[in-house]
Structure 1
């Protein structure tokens, strides 16, 4: 197997190097390849990064050594930029604990299939409190989802749903099919948990 051709220049894989045939260093009088990018002047009417210049390794190192972030700032501006809490004084909106305190902004957009709105309504329904005021823990809510029960389900609905799922999933009731054993185990665990929950006492 032939060995790869060696490059004429050392450090050909130096971090940040971008080779381009025929591009020379932007520093006047320098004939080295311009392979390293450095910020140039700002573009007119554009509030963002300016044009870039391409320099050789030595000149980009010199540029970086002389770069001053605070160039052009007043003493007060420099002081403000160096404060440890700079930027934290901006007002921010408090987040709800469950992250579903209001519909996302994109819910105002056209949603002909109701995919976005339905997802948000389902999330809100899963987080709402019971009408009877009985508390629901996070584990209670998970168990209700496993059984496919609403937040306000009572003990009677709990027993009926459990019995229906056992008939549906148990191998003795579906021709010996054991493919649903994992789901059946989750249903049993959810039922056993909810039987002892405060909301179903």
Structure 2
């Protein structure tokens, strides 16, 4: 290579400061913060899919005070918990879909009478079957699974449906993570309470 060659006498290299590419990104949306926004936080109920952008310190502070159920009536909280059991997917009663007026009229005309319908299946479709009366609770045989459900809720076997529902509502509020500052250590106890209540409800105790 010739150092006095005229071919290379005009090559110039720019200083490093001119070749530096600055990486730009979102800034933390916390008031007064200028740190990079590295984390997302949900904006809240009725704003699903929308997020705040915070730095690590501020997203942690936001999560500690975040409560999805804030301001929601107790009835709506209970309905949300119930829908969560099915993944918030819609459900229908048997016979409520695909049965038009003609089908219901045909069922009423050809529905045999005078037989027992303990589950009310034909009654929901316009039938005339008579349901069997529910046996008194005190004559029921208490199974071990039902005894465990009563113990999980902390109520007596002789508790009324109103007492069971009231106790369930108290325990849900007590063990829900939002009521414990986001502490998830009570989730197992909350799941046990919900399963016990649903078992008693399916068994006809509430």
Normalising by the smaller structure, the TM-score range is: 0.3 to 0.5
TM norm structure 1: 0.33
**Higher RCO, 1 or 2 (CA under 8 Å, sep at least 6)?**
2
